[in-house]
A = this chain, B = another copy of it.
Amino acid sequence: MYTLLDGKLISEQIKKEIAEEVQQMIKAGKKRPHLAVIIVGHDGGSESYVAGKIKDCQICGFQSTLIRLEEDVTEQRLLQEVERLNEDTDVDGFIVQLPLPKHISEQKMIEAINYKKDVDGFHPINVGRLCIGLPCYVSATPMGIMELLKRYRIETSGKNCVVVGRSNIVGKPTAMLLMQKTYPGDATVTICHSHTKNLKEICQQADIIVAAIGQPEFLKGDMVKEGAVVIDVGTTRVPSTETKSGFKLKGDVDFNEVAPKCSFITPVPGGVGLMTRVSLMKNTLLAAKAEIYEKNG
């Protein structure tokens, strides 16, 4: 019988821990952590993600600032806004919600953010520091995955971990974290992707699988060995008549087939997605406390 890695339970626990810490900070005369979010345009997914982030800030006792720019904003105007937030000493951390309209370079925007306020952990300095094993803002999904492994005390040392997907925001950093010299870490890590030829055989040998492909129900029962730990990062929206919103979230794992073979597995929804959300709050708290970088300039 498998155990669910309950992202809802754990993320609520973490939010409570953060809220308590913020209360202590306020009592000690410190200012509230302050997250700013820039949203460009009115993409449905982005709107709902951003609404979630603002709501999480309220729950955690953070101040939040939402900056709305229209779809046709120029790159230069957006850069100005980033610059303004870089210099605003009241803002501890901020993010530019992705994706951005095609006429704006996402990479340019990411690099324009002061890495000391880069609570998304996308700036090359934070990515490099993660790689080297130095303190940094870890991007939200990999951080959420590590937190789940920790809270459920899942052993990673010497385990065969297979990460399916090599994206910059999930696959690569998750692989880097799983191999680092700490816990969670010390795992033997294999990174698979679209060019991998023997994916089924590789997954069958894995003690831990992180599925981050973006293809609904890609990972089937016959690809997983008995007792495996399966982390499902997928959140593809598929049309559905069962929900009010008209869509349903599907993971990269065929849960019905895979779960019975697992020791631990994340559900979708209620797994990694909620851990990703709460990780942004953790980074914002770290920024407010200047735990990663000293505050200057």
Chain B proximity mask over A184-209: 1 for CB below 8 Å, otherwise 0: 00111111110111100010000000
A282 to chain B, nearest CB (A): 21
> Is A127 an interface residue, CB under 8 A from the partner?
yes
A180, closest chain B residue (CB)? B166
Taken together, the copies of this chain in the complex come to 2
> Is A176 an interface residue, CB under 8 A from the partner?
yes
Q: Are B191 and A196 in contact (CB under 8 A)?
A: no
> Is A284 an interface residue, CB under 8 A from the partner?
no
> Is A45 an interface residue, CB under 8 A from the partner?
no
> Is A168 an interface residue, CB under 8 A from the partner?
yes
A104 to chain B, nearest CB (A): 17
A131 to chain B, nearest CB (A): 5
A220 to chain B, nearest CB (A): 19
Q: Are B193 and A179 in contact (CB under 8 A)?
A: yes
Give how many A residues have a beta carbon under 8 Å from the other chain's beta carbons: 37
> Is A172 an interface residue, CB under 8 A from the partner?
yes
Chain B proximity mask over A122-155: 1 for CB below 8 Å, otherwise 0: 0111111111111000000000000000000000
A162 to chain B, nearest CB (A): 9
Interface-centre pick from A133, A176, A189, A192 (highest chain B CB count, 10 A): A189
Given A124-B129, A125-B128, A188-B193, 9 extra CB contacts under 8 A: A124-B124, A128-B129, A131-B172, A131-B176, A133-B168, A188-B191, A188-B196, A188-B197, A188-B198
What would be 15 A-B contacts, judged by CB atoms less than 8 Å apart?
Answer: A124-B128, A127-B128, A131-B172, A131-B173, A131-B176, A158-B196, A158-B197, A160-B198, A166-B179, A166-B181, A172-B176, A172-B179, A175-B191, A179-B193, A188-B192
